[in-house]
């Protein structure tokens, strides 16, 4: 994985670290590169998962992650809209978090962090994007000695 490209997280991939209270690992591994698309932030703001929003807000206020908006009418919005509302023929509609991560990676350069390969693989290939998953991130953390195998297994479980 390149050392300077931003990582655009979808909800599922980011949540994997939030649920186990280990989101700081992302900031340690990828300082200044953790980007939360605004639709992902909105998904994490649901009242029934306040604890996740609190953890995300802490990352943001500590400047360990940033929220990136998708402005209506922008090129990235047009891509986002296409992925969530009007996909090309033989393409499926995907979720807002996945679409936002893909759209931002397409237009700003970067890596899509998503576990939802089944839904996004076609778009990853079509746009020629780099992609990572929770498992890839854990392997990276282990190889770089940020976590032990036991800690990685705990996060994964």
Average pLDDT, whole number, for the chain? 93
How many other C-beta atoms lie within 10 A of the C-beta of residue 47? 6
Q: How many domains does the chain contain in total?
A: 1
Q: In whole angstroms, give the CA distance from residue 132 to residue 110.
A: 11
Report the length, in residues, of the chain.
157
Specify the higher pLDDT residue, 82 or 155.
Answer: 82
Q: In whole angstroms, give the CA distance from residue 137 to residue 143.
A: 10
Whether residue 28 has pLDDT greater than 90: yes
Residues whose CB falls within 8 Å of the CB of residue 67, separated by 6 or more in sequence, listed in order: 35, 36, 37, 38, 41, 60
Specify the higher pLDDT residue, 102 or 151.
Answer: 102
* Residue 132, pLDDT score: 96
Question: Mean pLDDT, to the nearest integer, of 7-29?
Answer: 93
CATH number for 78:
3.40.50.1010
Coil, helix or strand for 100?
helix
Question: What is the pTM for the complete model shown?
Answer: 0.93
Instruction: Please check whether residue 1 lies inside any domain of the structure.
Output: no
Q: In whole angstroms, give the CA distance from residue 43 to residue 47.
A: 10
* Residue 3, pLDDT score: 60
Q: Give the domain range for residue 54.
A: 7-156
- Encode pLDDT of 29-85 as tens digits: 999 999 999 999 999 998 888 889 999 999 999 999 999 999 999 999 999 999 999
Whether residue 155 has pLDDT greater than 50: yes
* Residue 48, pLDDT score: 83
Strand order in the sheet with 7-9: 66-68, 34-37, 7-9, 111-113, 130-132
Instruction: Please check whether residue 47 lies inside any domain of the structure.
Output: yes
Instruction: Please check whether residue 127 lies inside any domain of the structure.
Output: yes
């Amino acid at each position: 994985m390149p050392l300077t490209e931003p990582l655009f997280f979808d909800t599922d991939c980011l949540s994997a670290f939030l649920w186990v209270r280990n989101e700081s690992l992302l900031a340690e591994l990828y300082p200044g590169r953790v980007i939360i698309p605004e639709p992902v932030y909105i998904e994490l703001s649901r009242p029934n998962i306040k604890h996740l929003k609190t953890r995300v807000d802490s990352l943001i206020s500590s400047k360990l992650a940033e929220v990136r908006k998708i402005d209506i009418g922008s090129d990235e919005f047009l891509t986002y809209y296409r992925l969530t509302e009007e996909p090309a023929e033989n393409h499926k509609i995907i979720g807002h978090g996945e679409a936002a991560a893909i759209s931002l990676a397409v237009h700003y350069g970067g890596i899509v962090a998503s576990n939802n390969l089944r839904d996004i693989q076609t778009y990853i290939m079509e746009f020629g994007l780099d992609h990572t998953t929770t498992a890839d991130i854990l392997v990276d953390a282990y190889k770089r000695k940020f976590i032990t195998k036991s800690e990685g297994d705990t996060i994964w479980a």
